[in-house]
Structure 1
């Protein structure tokens, strides 16, 4: 009788374990990216996906669904089955979308399970080759002399590039006009071809063009210089004291994914991001590796939403919805 009871207890425990968690993952996983190939989100996703595939023993496939400042991909993940086989490479753009769109179909803080932060992203302030400035101070002077004539690119309304430039506008007391694109790669291309004056973009998006002298880098957006380009001054030290903005990329899944599945993915990401070769690869791309616990990432997202809200209100963006 005792043996029967033990067997029954074991069977009962096994039945209580969600099927998708017991052998997870047992099929390929999709990682959606809301921007075009070539941008920082895509570069981060593809490097992470390659290493996660090796770690998990299943393919992690990056799928680009660009448009609407990343919202198309984010909405698709929010609607997907909560089984752990669809996830999103989220970005700073996701923290501000609720301010730009009244009819947003999802809530970043309520409709997703935070998995882990992956990297933080210093932005390079890149200008078109023919723009007659060589530093931030000269850019501010030019913008003040020609209000509304200069234009900047972004990867969409509410994107990190958008908010970075709006902070620049607010602090410098200038009016540089926003031109949104489907992805930062398109915006950078527009700058390199002299169609748009400037863009705040991740280093992976601009380093090759800067080396080929197709864009000129004026400054880095963080309050500190980056290891990848230590000679590039910060915006704050080169003409706009107190300026500081950066982006980030991290992984989320739909809400209601079993907790142990999220734990499994978190452990895999932390392991991959912490590997010396992966850290070196990210740093070479101008990205700063930074994995977290699930709880730390949840707190980080809450802080990001609050900061984006404050910036949008201060610059009048919220009223433009």
Structure 2
């Protein structure tokens, strides 16, 4: 009888650990946010922005730790193997959802080893072309590309990057054949675009806005569903003859699978409150980023849908990791 009561008591304690009341005590020590990308990039910057603003409402420091390497695999695997207690989180991007299909031998799987905590924001890209390209917009580009299949090209910062995948999605949805020219990083691709060695490239809106204003490149379209606040006069691909096209860079937080649901929900609420702040929305808007707000369950579905989206593109184009 004593043993039975002990088992029941332990079961009750386990259940209590996942209740909203238990989550009110979380966190009781510092929380790490692992960023599997280099210091100083957009993912790192937004992680640090978030960490500063989570500390006060949750009452504990949030510490950003960069663990880049192997295409984000090293840092991501460290979080997958961390205790599922809410004290180690992963700053992820849609590079992760691409890698689910592109990188076959990863030691983790997103849907098996992680749970979605909260999205953070998304940033549009812009398709820019050298001024010598005749096409002034997407409809003209599609017509030219179909008339001269394989004669036009686009640069990217490397195979599997968001800039490459934006191009492959465009090819698939527009029915065109553009030659992909991968570089080892964005700087070389931009230099050759400005010099006219390549025809066009997808790039971050904020990176290219000054080049567009100076007339060094021409903006054909942005890649979100809505027009960019940074380039409001430039139409989207979606409204320019390729319906439903969307290719952004988005960020979010993940936790190891098994993290108590109440802890996940508390974090989700805190991140959502930051993203809904009017001053934050304004600040991010100037940086070309738009807040993403959804509950944890919806974010899990969002991740699954994004994995499926890029899997179709990768398989149709037979893209292989370098």
Partner residue, 1:5: none
Helix, strand or coil: the match of 2:111? Answer: coil
Helix, strand or coil: the match of 2:126? Answer: strand
Partner residue, 2:46: 44
Once the two structures are TM-superposed, the CA of residue 145 in structure 1 deviates from its matched residue by: 4.3
For structure 1, the residue ranges without an aligned partner over 5 or more in a row are 1-8
Helix, strand or coil: the match of 2:166? Answer: helix
CA pair 85-186 structure 1, distance change in 2 beyond 3 A: farther
Partner residue, 2:156: 153
Partner residue, 1:169: 171
Kindly indicate whether the alpha-carbon contact (under 8 Å) linking 1:153 and 1:180 is maintained by their aligned counterparts in 2: yes
Partner residue, 1:272: 274
Kindly indicate whether the alpha-carbon contact (under 8 Å) linking 2:35 and 2:68 is maintained by their aligned counterparts in 1: no
Kindly indicate whether the alpha-carbon contact (under 8 Å) linking 1:221 and 1:245 is maintained by their aligned counterparts in 2: yes
Helix, strand or coil: the match of 2:288? Answer: coil
TM value normalised by structure 1? 0.78
Greater shift in the superposed pair: 54-63 or 102-111:
54-63
Kindly indicate whether the alpha-carbon contact (under 8 Å) linking 1:188 and 1:206 is maintained by their aligned counterparts in 2: no
> Which residue, out of 23, 27, 42, partners 1:24?
27
Partner residue, 1:244: 246
Greater shift in the superposed pair: 221-230 or 103-112:
221-230
Partner residue, 2:314: 312
RMSD: 3.6
Once the two structures are TM-superposed, the CA of residue 297 in structure 1 deviates from its matched residue by: 0.6
Summarize deviations over 1:2-26 as a string: whole Å, max 9, x none.
Answer: xxxxxxx9xx959964999845142
Once the two structures are TM-superposed, the CA of residue 212 in structure 1 deviates from its matched residue by: 5.6
TM value normalised by structure 2? 0.77
Distance in 2, Cα, partners of 1:244 & 1:14: 43
Kindly indicate whether the alpha-carbon contact (under 8 Å) linking 1:69 and 1:157 is maintained by their aligned counterparts in 2: no
Kindly indicate whether the alpha-carbon contact (under 8 Å) linking 2:129 and 2:201 is maintained by their aligned counterparts in 1: yes
Summarize deviations over 1:163-193 as a string: whole Å, max 9, x none.
Answer: 21112223242232241546x6775576567
Helix, strand or coil: the match of 1:114? Answer: strand
Kindly indicate whether the alpha-carbon contact (under 8 Å) linking 1:148 and 1:177 is maintained by their aligned counterparts in 2: no
Helix, strand or coil: the match of 1:288? Answer: strand
Greater shift in the superposed pair: 231-240 or 263-272:
231-240
Partner residue, 1:4: none
Distance in 2, Cα, partners of 1:90 & 1:138: 36
The residue correspondences of 1:1-321 to structure 2 (distance < 5 A) are 17=17, 22-34=25-37, 37-39=40-42, 41-127=43-129, 134-137=136-139, 139-140=141-142, 141=144, 145=148, 147=150, 150-154=153-157, 156-170=158-172, 171-179=174-182, 181=184, 191=193, 197-211=199-213, 215-238=217-240, 240=242, 243-317=245-319
Distance in 1, Cα, partners of 2:305 & 2:166: 17
Helix, strand or coil: the match of 2:231? Answer: coil
Once the two structures are TM-superposed, the CA of residue 62 in structure 1 deviates from its matched residue by: 3.5
CA pair 23-56 structure 1, distance change in 2 beyond 3 A: closer
CA pair 164-16 structure 1, distance change in 2 beyond 3 A: same
Kindly indicate whether the alpha-carbon contact (under 8 Å) linking 1:185 and 1:205 is maintained by their aligned counterparts in 2: no
Distance in 1, Cα, partners of 2:39 & 2:240: 31
Kindly indicate whether the alpha-carbon contact (under 8 Å) linking 1:92 and 1:248 is maintained by their aligned counterparts in 2: yes
For structure 2, the residue ranges without an aligned partner over 5 or more in a row are 1-8
Aligned length: 307
